[in-house]
Structure 1
Amino acid sequence: MSLIRMSSPHVTRSNSSRGVMQLVLFAMIPGLIALTAFFGWGTLIQLAICLAAGLLFEAIALKLRGMPISYYLNDYSAVVTAALLAVSIPPSAPYWVGIVGMFVAIMIGKQVYGGLGNNPFNPAMVAYALLLVSFPVQMSGWNLPYVLVDQSSWGIPSFKETLSVILGQPSAIIDSYSGATPLDILRNQGAATTEELWRNNVTLKDGVAAYHAVAAAWFMGGIFLLYRKVFTWHTPFSLLMTLFVVSALFYGYDPSNYVDPFNQITLGAAMLGAFFIATDPVSSATSNRGRIVFGIGIGLLIFIIRTWGNYPDAVAFSVLLMNLAAPMIDHYTQPRSYGHKRARVGPKGK
C-alpha cells in the first residue's frame, strides 16, 4: 500500500481550500468597493488584468507539471493571489505591471515550490516586493482620493479614461489626481513637524478620511473571516497591537517627528496585511503561540521600515521576512503532545 503525503491546505473536500478561498474573496468586497469609490475604476481594471494573467499562468504551470488543470484552477487560490496583488499596486499602473506581477506570483512564488500548500512565501507579496524594487516609478504613481475633487478644475476620470491610461495613453486628468500617499508625506516631512504637515498638507488635512475608510473596509472583511473561523485572532491582533503600542511609545516621546498610533494602523496596508496577508495558513506560523510571535515580528518590522527604512509602507517586506522565520518559530512554539509531560533536564538526564 502506498500513501500520498500532502501539505496543507488539503483539497480532498470541496469545502476545504475552495470554500476558504471563496470566503476570502467575499470578505474583500468591502475593500474593493471602498477603493473604487474613493480612488476610481483603476483597482477593478487591475483586478481584471491580474485575474486573467494569473489564471493563464496557473494553467500553463499545471500543464507543464502534468497536473489536472481544471481541478486545481477550481481551488480559487490563483484568484485570491490576483485580488491581493490588484489591491496592492497603484490603480493607474501600466497593464504590464499586473502581468509581470502575476507571472512572478504564480510561477516563482507558488508553482516552483510545488503549488498550493508548499510555498514558503506569500506569492502576492513576493510579486509586490519584486515590482516595487524593479519598477519604482510605476509603483509610486498612486491616485489621490476623489474627495479632493472640489479643489481641482478637472472632473473625475471615467472608466474609459482610466482604462486608456492603464493601457499606455497619458491623461492630464489622471495626472492631476496622482501624488504622494499620506505615509510618503509623513515620512519625507523635511524640516516640517508632523503637526505642521497635518495642518498644511491638503492630502492629510482633507483627504485622509478616504484612507481611513478603506482601512475600515478591510477591517470589516477581516472581522467577517474571524467570525467564519477562517483564521484565529492571534496573528492580526498581535500585529496591530504591536504596531499600535510601539507607535504610541515613540509618538509619546516625540510627537513632532513620529506618526500617531491610530494613523499607523489605518494608513497604508497595515489593516489589509493583518487580516488578509499575514494570516496565510501556508507561509505563517501554525501554533497559536507561534502566530502571536509571528504577528509581533511583522508589527515591529513594519514600524522599523516605515520609520527608518527606504519605503514608506513595509507590509510586504515585513511579511516576507517573517515567512523566513516561520519554521524556526514553529520549532520553538509547538505545544507538547497530549498526555506527555514536559521534558526536564537535570543531573544524569533526569
Structure 2
Amino acid sequence: MLDVLIALIPASVFGVYNFGLGALARIIISIAACVAIEAIYEYFMHKEITVGDFSAAVTGLLLALNVPVTLPIGMLIIGDAFAIIIVKMLFGGLGQNFMNPALGARCFLFISFAKWMSDFATDAYTGPTPLAILKGGEEAAGLAQPELLNMFLGSTAGTIGETSALAILIGAIYLLVKKIISPRIPVAYIASFAVFILIFAPGHQFDFMYMLKEICGGGLMLGAFFMATDYVTSPITPNGKIVFGIILGILTGLFRMFGANAEGVSFAIIFGNLLVPLIEKVTVPKSFGKKPEKEAK
C-alpha cells in the first residue's frame, strides 16, 4: 500500500499543479477522513486499529483523484465514509470487500450528487472534458476537438488525478518495476478497449487518432493501473487476470460508446469485480497429473 501511495505521487502533484490548492486540500482531507473514519469505526467496534497498513490512505487518495476539484468537501467526506464503512468495513475489512472501495464511493457520489460530480468547470477550464467533446452532443457542439498531446500531458479538464496519462504512466512503471502489480490486467484492459474502439466506435471505425484520445482521456489509465489491479477485488489466477482485463475493456467501450455518459471506467471495474469469483473458478490451473473428473470416474 505504501508503494501504491508513492506511485500516485506524480498524478497527485500534477493534479495540484493543474487545478490549484483546491486539489491539494481535497487530497489531504480525503486521506485524513478515510484514516480517521476507519480508526473510529474499529475503536467503537472493539476491533484492532489497522490504519497502519495504509489501505485507508490509499482509498482516500484514490477517491480524491477521482472527483472534480469543484466537488464540495462535505460531499467528498460522505464518499470517504461510504468507501470505508459500507464497502470495506461492513464486509470484514481489508481483504474481504468485494469491490474497490474508492470506485464504489465514486459511483455512489455520481449517483447521489450527479450535478456536482459532472461539473468540471474551473478558472482554467470552462468547457467540457475531452471525453465529452469526443462523444459529442449539445454541450460539445461547435467546440474544437481535443489535442492528443494535451490529453497525454494533462492540460485538460477532468477529475483531479485522471488528466495526465504521462503522470499516471510514471507511477505505473514504478509499480511494474517493483513487481507490485502484474502487467496482465492493465495490458489486457487497454488492448481490448483499443480493439473495441477501433471496430465499434460510431463514425470512428479504425480511426487510430480517435482511439488514442479515448485511451488517454478520462479515467482509463488511472483505473487500469491503480484500481483494476487491486489485489482484493481482482483475480489471482494468471489467465483470470487476462480474462478480467478483456471484460473491463469491452465493458468500458460499451459504456463510453453507447451509454449516456462519456465515461465508464468506474462502473466497468465494479461490474468486473462482481465476476471475479466466476472468472477464478473457470481459470484455476489443473493440478499436474490430475485426470479430468469424467475420466477419473
Provide the TM-score with structure 2 as the length reference.
Answer: 0.89
Corresponding residue number in structure 2 for 1:326: 276
Unaligned runs of 5+ in 2: 156-162
Q: Distance in 2 between matches of 1:281 and 1:39?
A: 31
- Which residue number in structure 1 is paired with residue 26 of structure 2? 46
Which letter does structure 1 place at the counterpart of 2:289? H
- Equivalent residue number for residue 13 of structure 1: none
Deviations 1:125-182 (A, max 9, x none): 11000100110111011146xxxxxxxxxxxxxxxxxxxxxxxxxxxxx4x7343111
Note if 1:114 corresponds to 2:92: yes
- 1:255 shift after superposition: 2.3
CA contact (8 A) 1:239 1:298 kept: yes
Task: List structure 1 segments (4+ residues) > 4 angstroms apart after TM superposition.
Answer: 256-259
For 2:17 and 2:271, locate their aligned partners in 1 and report how far apart those are by CA, in whole Å: 33
Q: Say if 2:259 is the partner of 1:299.
A: no
Distance (Å, rounded) in 2 between the aligned partners of 1:143 and 1:35: 15
CA distance 1:257–1:334, change in 2 (3 Å): closer
Show the counterpart of 2:106.
128
Whether the 8 Å CA contact 1:141–1:178 is kept in 2: the answer is no
Q: How does 1:198-217 map to 2 (within 5 A)?
A: 201-202=143-144, 204-205=146-147, 208=151, 210-211=153-154, 214-217=164-167
Deviation at 1:191, TM superposition (A): 11
CA distance in 1, matches of 2:129, 2:87: 28
Matched with 1:186 is: 134
Q: Distance in 1 between matches of 2:43 and 2:205?
A: 56
**Larger Rg: 1 or 2?**
1
Preserved contact between residue 199 and residue 205 of structure 2 (Cα < 8 Å): no
Matched, 1:286 2:230: no
1:50–1:232 Cα change, 3 Å: same
The answer to whether the Cα contact below 8 Å between 1:247 and 1:303 also exists between their aligned partners in 2 is yes
2:116 corresponds to which residue?
138
Identity percentage over the alignment?
Answer: 34
Structure 2 partner of 1:78: 56
Once the two structures are TM-superposed, the CA of residue 233 in structure 1 deviates from its matched residue by 1.0
- Measured on the aligned residues, the alpha-carbon RMSD in Å equals 2.4
Give the structure-1-normalised TM-score: 0.76
SS in 2 for 1:283: coil
Deviation at 1:53, TM superposition (A): 1.2
- Distance in structure 1 (CA, Å) of the matches to 2:289 and 2:165: 44
- Does the 8 Å contact 1:239/1:296 carry over to 2? yes
Tell me the distance in 2 between the aligned counterparts of 1:40 and 1:111. 33
How many residues get paired? 288
Unaligned stretches of 5+ residues in structure 1: 1-20, 145-173
Residue in structure 2 matched with residue 37 of structure 1 by the alignment: 17
SS at match of 1:285: coil
The superposition leaves residues 303-347 of structure 1 with CA deviations (integer Å, 9 ceiling, x where unpaired) of: 10011112211111001001100000000001122x33341635x
Contact 1:121 / 1:283 at 8 angstroms: preserved in 2? Answer: yes
Q: Which residue of 1 aligns with 2:69?
A: 91
State the distance in 1 between where 2:200 and 2:237 align. 31
Q: CA deviation at 1:208?
A: 3.8
Asked whether the equivalents of residues 151 and 164 of structure 2 are also in contact (C-alpha less than 8 Å), the reply is: no
CA contact (8 A) 1:141 1:179 kept: no
- Mapped to 2, the partners of 1:228 and 1:296 lie a distance apart of 24
Residue 94 of structure 1 aligns with an amino acid whose one-letter code is P
Q: In structure 1, how many angstroms separate the alpha carbons of the residues matched to 2:139 and 2:103?
A: 33
Question: Cα deviation per residue 1:111-135 (whole Å; 9 max; x = unaligned)?
Answer: 0001000001100011000100110
Cα distance in 2, alignment partners of residues 216 and 342 from structure 1: 48
Q: Distance in 1 between matches of 2:228 and 2:63?
A: 14
Q: Does residue 1:309 correspond to 2:263, yes or no?
A: no
State the shift of 1:203 in Å.
Answer: 7.0
- Cα deviation, 1:168-221, whole Å, max 9, x if unaligned, reads xxxxxx4x73431111122233599xxxx7xx6257259545437711111111
Deviation at 1:79, TM superposition (A): 0.2
Residues 191/124 of structure 1: CA separation in 2 closer, same or farther (3 Å cut): closer
Letter in 2 for 1:105: A
Matching residue of 1:249: 199
Moved more, 297-306 or 36-45: 36-45
Cα distance in 1 between the residues matched to 2:145 and 2:15: 16
SS state at 2:80 partner = helix
